[in-house]
Chain A
Amino acid sequence: MTQGYSFLEDSVISDMIFEATGDTPAELFQAAGLALFEGMADTGRVQPRIRKEIRLKHAQIDQLLYDWLSELIYLKDAAGLLFREFSVQLTQNSDWSLVATVRGEPIDPKRHALRADVKAVTYHQFEVVQTETGGWKARVVVDI
Chain B
Amino acid sequence: MQVNKITDYLWEIPPSEKEGMLVPARIYASEKLMKEMDAGVIEQITNVACLPGIQKYALCMPDGHWGYGFPIGGVAAFSLQDGVISPGGIGFDINCGMRLIRTDLTKAEVQPRLKDLLNVLFNKVPAGVGAKGFVKIEKKEMAEVMTRGVNWCIKKGYGWAQDRDRIEEGGCLPGGDPSHVSSHAVERGVGQLGTLGSGNHYLEIQVASDENIYDEKLARALGIFGRDQVVVMVHCGSRGFGHQIATDYLRVFDSAMKKYGITVRDRQLGCAPFRSPEGQAYYSAMACAANMAFANRQVITHRIREAFSQVFNEDAERLGLETIYDVAHNVAKIETYEINGKPTELLVHRKGSTRAFGPGRAEIPTLYRDWGQPVIIGGSMETGSYLCVGTQKAESETFGSTMHGAGRTMSRTAAKRMVRGSDLQRRMEEHGILVKAVSMSGLAEEAGTAYKNISEVVDTMDAVGVSKKIVQLKPIGNIKG
Binding site for B on A (CB under 8 A): 7, 9-16, 40-41, 63, 66-67, 70, 73-74, 76-78, 80, 82, 107, 109, 112-117, 119-124, 126, 141, 143-144
A77-B189, A77-B192, A123-B270 given; name 6 further pairs at CB < 8 Å.
A77-B130, A77-B187, A78-B187, A109-B438, A116-B441, A119-B240
Q: How far is the CA of A76 from the CA of B244 in the complex (A)?
A: 12
Partner of A11, one of B131, B191, B268, B411: B411
Contact stretch, chosen from B77-85, B246-254, B367-375: B246-254
Are A115 and B66 interface neighbours, CB within 8 A? no
Contact (A116, B412) CB under 8 Å given A74-B187, A124-B268: yes
Q: Does B134 contact A (CB under 8 A)?
A: no
Which residues of B have CB within 8 Å of A14? 65-67, 72, 199-200, 408, 411-412
Total interface residues on B, CB under 8 Å, equals 51
Q: How far is the CA of A29 from the CA of B18 in the complex (A)?
A: 37
Are A80 and B130 interface neighbours, CB within 8 A? yes
Partner of A117, one of B38, B67, B197, B441: B197
Interface centre among A12, A15, A66, A119 (most CB of B within 10 A): A119
Which residues of A have CB within 8 Å of B239? 77
Q: Does B266 contact A (CB under 8 A)?
A: yes
Q: How far is the CA of A76 from the CA of B270 in the complex (A)?
A: 26
- Chosen A-B contacts, 29 in total, with CB atoms closer than 8 Å, are A11-B411, A12-B66, A13-B408, A13-B409, A13-B410, A14-B72, A14-B408, A14-B411, A15-B68, A70-B247, A73-B240, A74-B184, A77-B189, A77-B192, A77-B239, A78-B184, A78-B187, A78-B188, A82-B130, A107-B130, A114-B442, A115-B129, A116-B129, A117-B198, A120-B246, A120-B247, A122-B268, A123-B270, A124-B69
Closest Cβ of chain A to B168, distance in Å, is: 22
Q: Does B445 contact A (CB under 8 A)?
A: yes
Q: How far is the CA of A116 from the CA of B412 in the complex (A)?
A: 10
Partner of A116, one of B184, B198, B410: B198
Q: Does B92 contact A (CB under 8 A)?
A: yes
Are A115 and B267 interface neighbours, CB within 8 A? no
Q: Does B170 contact A (CB under 8 A)?
A: no
Binding site for A on B (CB under 8 A): 38, 40, 65-69, 72, 92-93, 128-132, 184, 187-189, 191-192, 197-200, 239-240, 243-244, 246-247, 250-251, 254, 266-268, 270, 408-414, 438-439, 441-442, 445, 481
Partner of B247, one of A107, A112, A113, A121: A121
Closest Cβ of chain A to B197, distance in Å, is: 6
Which residues of A have CB within 8 Å of B128? 109, 114, 117
Contact (A7, B66) CB under 8 Å given A41-B129, A123-B254: no
Q: Which residue of B lies closest to A79 (CB)?
A: B187
Q: Which residue of A lies closest to B239 (CB)?
A: A77
Are B411 and A10 interface neighbours, CB within 8 A? yes
Are B129 and A107 interface neighbours, CB within 8 A? yes
Q: How far is the CA of A86 from the CA of B244 in the complex (A)?
A: 22
Contact (A115, B68) CB under 8 Å given A13-B38, A78-B187: no
Q: Which residue of B lies closest to A7 (CB)?
A: B413
Closest Cβ of chain B to A44, distance in Å, is: 15
Contact (A76, B129) CB under 8 Å given A119-B93, A144-B198: yes
